[in-house]
Amino acid sequence: MKDLIIRFIIGGFVVSLFSFISDLFKPKTFAGLFGAAPSVALASLVLTALKQTKGTAAIEARSMILGAVALLIYASVVSYIVLRFRLPALWVSLPSLLLWMAAAAALWSLVLS
Amino acid sequence: MIVALSTSGLKRAKWYEYVIRFALGGIVTASAALIAKRISPSFGGLFLAFPAILAASSTLVEKHERQRKRENGLNGMYRGRHAAGADAAGAAMSSIGLITFAIFVWKLLPEHNLLSVIAGATVLWALVAVAIWWSWKRNVPQRFAKQLGFSRTKARSTDRESIPAPPSSSAGSARQPSGPPRRRAS
């Protein structure tokens, strides 16, 4: 439980830091680069390597490649739908999380399971 | 200048928006660890690239742009949605950098110093993301496609050139139809 609280605080802090940096930049496409910053990964990989082993962190990083490919699909689809059909961002980005999960799970079962 | 620093985004952001981002970041980080522990580190690793923050940030970007336009007496709905789409497009480019980040950590972490690998991977992510954004901004993919003969721009310009100019003398006649020119029967 203590480990999860530490991860919550550090993860939240790193994500907020990248969001803060993102708010400083123009144009929006450049600021958007920070939307796929390795914020959760930085906190998680460092804590896993310190608390467990570097090998476990490397295994997580290997799976993260597939998660990032799913993120590429997710962000491309959200961007296309919002720009093409002018729908509210929340209507597109929230249901599309299911697309990320489906893509990530499919890639993981194909490549790593 | 293509990229500029601006404090207007910070001024517009409310304190609770940072609390939402903090909470989302914390929940995703803790959940990834929990999944790694309960199921396997291999499956939990997927969630290190979970786009929860992207969903929140694109929604907030839309809201801020809409507010900005409304303050100027405009609707701002389309402007807000365009900004949210642009934000997500930036994230799509950056996710290629995230793939290189993960490959770098996977390959180098077992045999090298933790902080050096993490710092190197973060620098690599930033370089790849900015390089892709820069080349997109400079129309490099379009130029490359044009060189390979895959460009649609060339075909469009040819079509446009072939459309005859409307006759200036026929002021009272019907409007010229748009589209490709029609061959008249002689």
Instruction: Provide the number of CB pairs (under 8 Å) joining chain A to chain B.
Output: 330
Residue A30 lies in a domain: yes
**Closest approach of A39 to chain B, Cα-based (Å):** 8
Domain match, A3 and A24 both: yes
Six token digits for residue A17: 């830091």
> Is A103 contained in some domain?
yes
Residues A10 and A44 both lie in one domain: yes
What SS3 state is found at B5? Answer: strand
Q: Considering the entire predicted model, what is its pTM?
A: 0.81
Q: What is the pLDDT, as a whole number, of residue A75?
A: 93
The DSSP secondary-structure symbol of B111 reads G
Write down the pLDDT at residue B152.
60
A67 and A45 within one domain: no
| Same-domain check for residues A66 and A111 | yes
What pLDDT sits at residue B119?
A: 95
The residues that bridge with A25 in the sheet, in sequence order, are B5
pLDDT in tens, chain B (186 residues): 577 777 776 677 778 888 888 998 899 999 999 999 999 999 999 999 998 778 888 778 777 777 777 777 776 677 778 888 888 899 999 999 999 999 999 999 998 999 999 999 999 999 999 999 999 888 777 777 787 777 665 444 434 434 444 554 444 444 444 445 544 443
Host domain of residue A19: 1-52
Please provide the average confidence, as pLDDT, over all residues in chain A.
Answer: 90
Domain count, chain A: 2
User: In this structure, are residues B60 and B15 in contact, taking their beta carbons and an 8 Å threshold?
Assistant: no
Q: Same structural domain for residues A68 and A108?
A: yes
Residues of A in contact with B114 (CB under 8 A): 46, 49-50, 54
Residues A61 and B65: their CA atoms lie apart, in Å, by 36
Decide if A44 is inside a domain. Answer: yes
| DSSP letter (8 states) at residue B185 | P
At which of A26, A52, A78 does a domain end? A52
Q: Which ranges of B39-166 would DSSP assign to H, the alpha helix?
A: 41-44, 52-71, 77-108, 114-137, 140-148, 152-162
Question: Between A8, A68, A93, which is nearest B55 by CB?
Answer: A93
| One domain for residues A7 and A47 | yes
Q: What string of pLDDT tens digits covers the 113 residues of chain A?
A: 888 999 999 999 998 888 888 888 878 788 889 888 898 999 999 999 999 999 999 999 999 999 999 999 999 999 999 888 888 888 888 899 999 999 999 999 999 87
Q: Identify the pLDDT of residue B176.
A: 47
- Choose among A16, A41, A75: nearest Cβ to B54: A75
Contacts with B, A 6-35, CB within 8 Å: 7-16, 18-20, 22-35
A92 in a structural domain = yes
A69 and A112 assigned to the same domain: yes
Give the residue from chain B lying closest to A109, CA to CA: B43
Residue A57 forms part of a structural domain: no
Asked whether residue A66 falls in the same domain as residue A113, the answer is yes
Question: In the prediction, which pLDDT does B48 show?
Answer: 93
My answer on whether A48 and A3 are in the same domain is yes
Are A46 and A70 members of one domain?
A: no
Task: Give the closest residue to A5 by CA, choosing from B42, B33, B37, B36.
Answer: B33
Structural tokens at position B72:
């100027």
